[in-house]
């Protein structure tokens, strides 16, 4: 990949404002994702990381600002164009979201059957090669309830890459995984990027783990990006909000308690 391709921004979020239920989620959010990179998006709970994924995939629209994906402004796209854009993406959901009535093979084949008219021999080749990539070709005929949590996550990853996406989005991919399964998924994220030329966005709370594979990290807080750069640089930062999150400190500028009236007033007053 030449330097121009490496510098291309496949996702560009500029000046985005977004609110839900009367609460501001983003207020001037700016971030971007380089083609071919593994980009981590981190931040305390409630900072809008999953909301950001909804904006990038066209499931939500910002109140102000710009979201560009594959060089196109999402706000100007028709529904058909949004659907076409999504076919260029793969998504690994937090819990895998496997279809319980289908075996492993048919779960991975599902996107191909829904979105492409391919000969069965080609479907079989694509499914088995993707299962081989995640180490589960031998589990092709198992049902979802026969899989461990780590295996289910790897099947979901095979399904996410079966359509050869340009952009692969992981929403909390390490939740509930044992150390061995986590190591396998981390290796797969890096290998898929390097061998298939995929661009990856990984939303995660696991600072130490994602730092092992990410090229760049963005830390969200208070509706904005408070830090960005190589994960090692963020881990070494002495900026208070960055230091608090990256080192898991209880005390710092990010409060533990959701904003509320003093407890005494609520206990002995008229209630909320």
Lowest mean pLDDT among 1-15, 117-131, 203-217: 1-15
Number of domains in the chain: 2
Cβ atoms < 10 Å from Cβ of 242: 23
Residues 57 and 171 in one domain: yes
Residue 96 lies in a domain: no
Residues 130 and 225 in one domain: no
Determine contact, residues 163/194, Cβ cutoff 8 Å.
Answer: no
Residue 172 lies in a domain: yes
Residue 178 scores a pLDDT above 70 = yes
pLDDT of residue 82: 92
Residue 225 lies in a domain: yes
Q: Which residue reads 């996406």 in tokens?
A: 165
Tell me which residue of 16, 86, 50 sits closest to 41, measured CA to CA: 50
Residue 232 scores a pLDDT above 50 = yes
pLDDT of residue 259: 59
Residue 45 scores a pLDDT above 90 = no
Which of 66-70, 159-163, 266-270 is modeled with the greatest confidence? 66-70
Residues 172 and 65 in one domain: yes
pLDDT of residue 191: 85
Residues 64 and 131 in one domain: no
Helical ranges in the chain per DSSP H:
3-7, 49-56, 79-86, 104-115, 120-133, 149-161, 179-196, 207-210, 231-236, 240-247, 263-268
Answer with the residue of higher pLDDT: 125 or 173: 125
Residue 265 scores a pLDDT above 80 = no
Q: Which residue reads 């070709």 in tokens?
A: 137
- What is the maximum alpha-carbon separation in the chain? 71
Residues 258 and 175 in one domain: yes
pLDDT of residue 171: 86
Helix (H) or strand (E) holding 75: none
Lowest mean pLDDT among 13-17, 137-141, 196-200: 196-200
Domain stops at, among 138, 164, 190: 164
Answer with the residue of higher pLDDT: 78 or 44: 78
Cα gap 148→130, rounded to integer Å: 19
Residues 154 and 251 in one domain: no
Residue numbers of the domain that contains 115 = 101-164
**Could you read off the pLDDT of 107-159 as tens digits, one per residue?**
999 989 988 888 999 999 999 999 998 889 999 999 999 998 888 888 988 99
Question: What ranges make up the beta strands (E) of 21-84?
Answer: 23-34, 38-42, 64-69, 72-73
Token pair, residue 182, equals: 């986590």
Q: Give the contacts of 208 (CB within 8 A, at least 6 positions apart).
A: none
pLDDT of residue 90: 87
Q: Which residue reads 């305390």 in tokens?
A: 44
Residues 208 and 155 in one domain: no
Residues 186 and 246 in one domain: yes
Cα gap 143→141, rounded to integer Å: 7
Here the CATH number for the domain that contains residue 28 is: 3.40.50.300
Tell me which residue of 136, 232, 146, 220 sits closest to 184, measured CA to CA: 136
pTM as predicted: 0.81
Residues 137 and 214 in one domain: no
Name the band, by pLDDT with cuts 50, 70 and 90, for residue 3: very low
């Amino acid at each position: 990949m030449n330097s121009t391709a490496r510098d291309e921004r496949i996702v560009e979020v500029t000046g985005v404002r977004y609110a839900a239920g009367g609460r501001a989620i983003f207020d001037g959010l700016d971030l971007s994702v380089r083609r071919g990179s593994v980009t981590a998006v981190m931040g305390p709970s409630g900072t809008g990381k999953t909301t950001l994924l909804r904006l990038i995939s066209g499931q939500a629209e910002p109140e102000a600002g710009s979201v560009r994906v594959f060089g196109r402004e999402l706000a100007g796209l028709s529904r058909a164009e949004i659907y076409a854009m999504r076919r260029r993406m793969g998504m690994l959901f937090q819990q895998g979201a496997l279809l319980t009535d289908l075996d492993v093979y048919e779960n991975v084949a599902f996107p191909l059957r829904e979105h492409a008219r391919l000969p069965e021999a080609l479907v079989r080749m694509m499914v088995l090669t993707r299962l081989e990539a995640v180490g589960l070709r031998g589990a092709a005929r198992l049902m979802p309830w026969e899989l461990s949590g780590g295996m289910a996550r790897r099947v979901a990853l095979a399904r996410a890459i079966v359509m050869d996406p340009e952009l692969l989005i992981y929403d909390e991919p390490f939740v509930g995984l044992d150390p061995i399964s986590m190591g396998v998924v981390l290796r797969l994220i890096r290998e898929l990027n390097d061998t298939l030329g995929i661009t990856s966005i990984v939303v995660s709370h696991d600072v130490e783990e994602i730092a092992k594979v990410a090229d760049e990290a963005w830390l969200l807080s208070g509706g904005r990006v408070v830090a960005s750069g190589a994960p090692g640089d963020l881990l070494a930062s002495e900026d208070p909000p960055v230091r608090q999150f990256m080192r898991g400190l209880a005390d710092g500028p990010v409060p533990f308690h959701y904003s509320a009236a003093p407890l005494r007033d609520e206990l002995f007053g008229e209630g909320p």
